[in-house]
Amino acid sequence: MIEKTIRMNYLYDFYQSLLTNKQNHYMKLYYLDDWSLGEISEHFDVSRQAVYDNIKRTEALLEEYERKLQLFLKYEQRQKHFNTLKVMVQENESPDRIVQIVGLLEELE
Amino acid sequence: MIEKTIRMNYLYDFYQSLLTNKQNHYMKLYYLDDWSLGEISEHFDVSRQAVYDNIKRTEALLEEYERKLQLFLKYEQRQKHFNTLKVMVQENESPDRIVQIVGLLEELE
What ipTM was predicted for this assembly?
0.85
Q: Do residue B55 and residue B77 come from a single domain? A: no
Tell whether A99 is within 8 A of chain B (Cβ): yes
Sign for the pseudo-dihedral over CA of A89, A95, A100, A105? positive
Report whether pLDDT(B73) > 90: yes
* pLDDT in 10s for each residue of chain A, 109 residues: 789 999 999 999 999 999 999 999 999 999 999 999 999 999 999 999 999 999 999 999 999 999 999 999 999 999 998 888 888 888 888 888 888 888 888 888 7
Q: Are residues A13 and A62 in the same domain?
A: yes
Task: Kindly list the residues from chain B whose CB atom is less than 8 angstroms away from the CB atom of residue A78.
Answer: 105-106
Q: What whole-number distance in Å separates Cα of residue A89 and Cα of residue A87?
A: 5
Same domain (yes/no): B16, B43: yes
Residues, chain B:
109
Do A60 and A77 belong to one domain? no
One domain, residues A79 and A35: no
**Burial class of residue A105 in the structure, from the number of CB atoms within 10 Å of its CB (0-12 exposed, 13-18 middle, 19+ buried):** buried
Separation between Cα atoms, residue A94 and residue A89, nearest integer Å: 9
Closest approach of A86 to chain B, Cα-based (Å): 6
Number of structural domains found in chain B: 2
Q: Which residues in chain A have their CB less than 8 angstroms from residue B98's CB?
A: 89
Instruction: Report pLDDT for B91.
Output: 87
- List of chain B residues whose C-beta atoms are within 8 Å of the C-beta of residue A68: 17-18
The answer on A84 and A64 residing in a single domain is: no
Q: Are residues A61 and A81 located together in one domain of the fold?
A: no
Considering the domain architecture, whether residues A102 and A49 belong to the same structural domain is answered as no
> Does one domain contain both A84 and A59?
no
Q: Give yes or no: residues B57 and B15 share one domain.
A: yes
pLDDT at residue A101 in the model: 86
The domain spanning residue B17 has which CATH number?
1.10.10.10
A14 touching B, CB under 8 A? yes
Split at pLDDT 50, 70, 90, the class of B97 is confident
> Can you give the residue range of the structural domain that contains B92?
73-108
Output A62 or B85, whichever has higher pLDDT: A62
Query: Same domain, yes or no, for A40 and A55?
Result: yes
- pTM attached to this predicted model: 0.88
- Let me know whether A18 and A49 are in one domain: yes
**What CA–CA distances, in Å, run from B24 to A9, A101, B3, B16?**
30, 33, 21, 6
> Is A98 within 8 Å of B89 when comparing Cβ atoms?
yes
Question: Which of A17, A18, A102 shows the shortest C-beta gap to B85?
Answer: A102
The minimum CA-CA distance between A49 and chain B, rounded to whole Å, is 30
**B31, B9 Cβ separation under 8 angstroms:** yes
What per-residue confidence (pLDDT) applies to A69?
A: 97
Calculate the CA B40 to chain-centre distance: 22
Question: A105 vs B86: CB contact, 8 Å cut-off?
Answer: no
